Amino acid sequence: MKSYNAYQLKLAMAGLMVLDHLKIIPDFIPDQLALVFHLATRCVAVFFAYMLVEGYLHTRNVKNYLLRLYYAAGLMATGNVLINSLYQSKDIYIGNNIFLTLAVGLTMLVCLRNFAEHTRKQQILQVLSVGLLTILGAFLTEGGYVVLPFILITYLGRESATKRTIAYGFLALVLLAMSYHPYETIEMTVQMMLFNADWLFILVLPIFGLYNGQAGPRTAFSRYFFYIFYPLHLWLLATIAYFL
């Protein structure tokens, strides 16, 4: 039932994201509930990655879109440094910066632009550039080893939902295998696989079934809400944690 536009789903994902970040406040929620929130929110980052590809395919000005993401990433990094410096006495640390991950992802798509129209040599350079960005981004950005491959799959599979879904499933299996490590008991092994649950990004698929393909309202608020909400809610939670 495709009943919701991109703006409505982004608001829902933003609200869901907060649940996973409540653990910033020590002892605010029980560990088991924190784990449930952690599992339920594995779909959030990749949903915004999907919306990034949608935005890339429909934006009139890719350059402005890219600069906006890098600008937001820079502001977030600066704010994180300030917050971490102010609250270091209580070991409060904010390292999140999904803006940088998305900016790198969009840079990858720009590198692939007009691929079929280029010469063989240019295509090789495009592929090498994307490969290098993917490898570096996997180590240097938040969730890059999941989000960046997801962005490539979403873009390259944009003409076939079936092939795209199969590729998502393969990525999930790879991540599941990477999360597996045998411990003393089966219970402990499963618990660690749930803690390292990036493979559960696949939970985003039912959400795609709700998306009607429409952007929603085109206002300054709808465009910049997430750019403001994402860093502010993290910094607010860090502030609460410090004073409590």
The residues, ordered by sequence, that sit 6+ positions from 25 with a Cβ below 8 Å of its Cβ are 237, 240, 241, 244
The answer to whether position 244 is within a domain reads no
Residue 112 clears pLDDT 70, i.e. is over it = yes
pLDDT surpassing 80 at residue 188: no
pLDDT exceeds cutoff 70 at 190: no
- Structure confidence at residue 98 (pLDDT): 97
pLDDT of residue 27: 85
- Give the model's pLDDT for residue 185: 76
Share above pLDDT 90 across residues of the chain, in percent, rounded to a whole number: 76
In a domain, 122, yes or no: yes
Count of structural domains, the chain: 1
Per-residue confidence (pLDDT) for residue 130, from 0 to 100: 94
pLDDT of residue 3: 87
Q: Which of 67, 42, 73 is nearest to 168 (CA)?
A: 42
Taking 90 as the threshold, does the pLDDT of residue 162 lie above it? yes
Whether 47 has a pLDDT exceeding 80, the answer reads yes
Arithmetic mean of pLDDT, 177-197: 75
* Mean pLDDT across 175-184: 81
Predicted TM-score (pTM) of this structure: 0.93
pLDDT score for 184: 75
Are 125 and 169 a contacting pair, CB within 8 Å?
Answer: no
Low-confidence winner among 48-62, 69-83, 87-101, 207-221 (lowest mean pLDDT)? 207-221
Average pLDDT, the chain: 92
Helices (H), the chain: 6-21, 31-40, 44-58, 62-86, 98-111, 120-140, 144-156, 161-179, 186-195, 205-208, 220-243
Residue 36 in domain? yes
Which residue range forms the structural domain that includes residue 186?
Answer: 6-239
- The answer as to whether 51 is a domain residue is yes
Cβ–Cβ contacts within 10 Å for residue 162, how many? Answer: 8
- End-to-end CA separation in angstroms for the chain: 43
Q: Are 41 and 19 in contact (CB under 8 A)?
A: yes
**Best CA proximity match to 105, nearest among 162, 160, 145:** 145
